[in-house]
Amino acid sequence: MKTVRIHKFLSQMGIASRRKAEILINEKRIKINGKFAQIGQKISDLDVVEFDGQKINKKPKIVWYALNKPKNYITSRIDPQNRPTIMEFFDKNSYLFPVGRLDFETTGLILVTNDGETSNKLLHPSSKIQRTYLVKTDFNLNNEEINFLNNNEIYLDNVKSVQKVQKVASRTYIVKVWQGSNHHVKKIFISVSKKVVMLRRLSFATIELGNLKPGEKRKLSQAEILSLKNIF
């Protein structure tokens, strides 16, 4: 009979990341067959798993949402500093989580799901998922600086960064990147001595922000969900 480690199961069910799952286990919030779970414990389809006293459905309906994240919201389920999080736009009892992160002041598209397997694949660096941003800077980039970013290898935190920058208005640019490291877009512009003063994500993988207003969300269609899964 096929078995899986409990922290991987919790990740696949969208309860928590694998690291967060270990924290939940240590906090004795996870039970297997009525007993507190142990780190590394394996389960099968015959086992009953509970989270905070509620039985976890092992085959939940997979759902995906696109949310236009407003400014000054944390991209997390819970914030230790008690700041507002994007999960306030969803049912508090749902086992949903954001796919990746956007900075506190960054706005735009963030995907939210309970599909841990596909989410993990999308976020893995080897997937090189395209992300598109609208960026406004404190000063204009000249042609030489734009060409430098588009045609030269630059390293941010010792990791090679590939980006395409297109000017669309004064101090305003469309930027495409293929990785999601911390403050990545801001660091790209710092490399040419510019400061990002506005940052909005327009697309992630095959999904676009569209006409969603800040704080609005929509369910992805089955075709959109398949487009994400078919990337791999």
Summarize the confidence of residues 50-57 as an average pLDDT: 86
Q: Is the pLDDT of residue 75 over 80?
A: yes
What is the model's pLDDT at position 78? 82
Query: Which tens digits make up the pLDDT trace of 82-127?
Result: 999 999 999 876 778 899 999 999 999 999 998 888 998 999 989 9
Q: Which domain holds residue 87?
A: 64-125+207-229
Q: Is the pLDDT of residue 206 over 70?
A: yes
User: What's the CA gap between 108 and 102, in Å, rounded?
Assistant: 8
Looking at the structure, tell me whether residues 213 and 109 fall in a common domain. yes
How much is the mean pLDDT over the chain? 92
The one-character DSSP state at 33 is: T
Percent of the chain with pLDDT over 70: 97
Q: 29-38, 54-63, 199-208 — which is least confidently predicted?
A: 54-63
Q: Is the pLDDT of residue 187 over 90?
A: yes
Beta strands in the chain (DSSP E): 4-5, 30-32, 35-36, 42-43, 49-51, 54-55, 64-69, 97-98, 107-113, 131-137, 154-156, 159-161, 163-169, 172-177, 196-204, 207-208, 217-219
Helix (H, G, I), strand (E, B) or coil at 192: coil
State pTM to two decimals. Answer: 0.80
Q: Which residue has the tokens 């998922």?
A: 129
> Does 103 participate in catalysis according to the annotation?
yes
Looking at the structure, tell me whether residues 212 and 118 fall in a common domain. yes
Looking at the structure, tell me whether residues 120 and 75 fall in a common domain. yes
Looking at the structure, tell me whether residues 86 and 181 fall in a common domain. no
Summarize the confidence of residues 140-152 as an average pLDDT: 97
What is the model's pLDDT at position 80? 85
State the CATH number of the domain containing residue 26.
Answer: 3.10.290.10
45, 103, 115, 138: the active-site residue: 103
Summarize the confidence of residues 176-195 as an average pLDDT: 95
Domain count of the chain?
3
Q: How many helices (H) and strands (E) does the chain have?
A: 6, 17
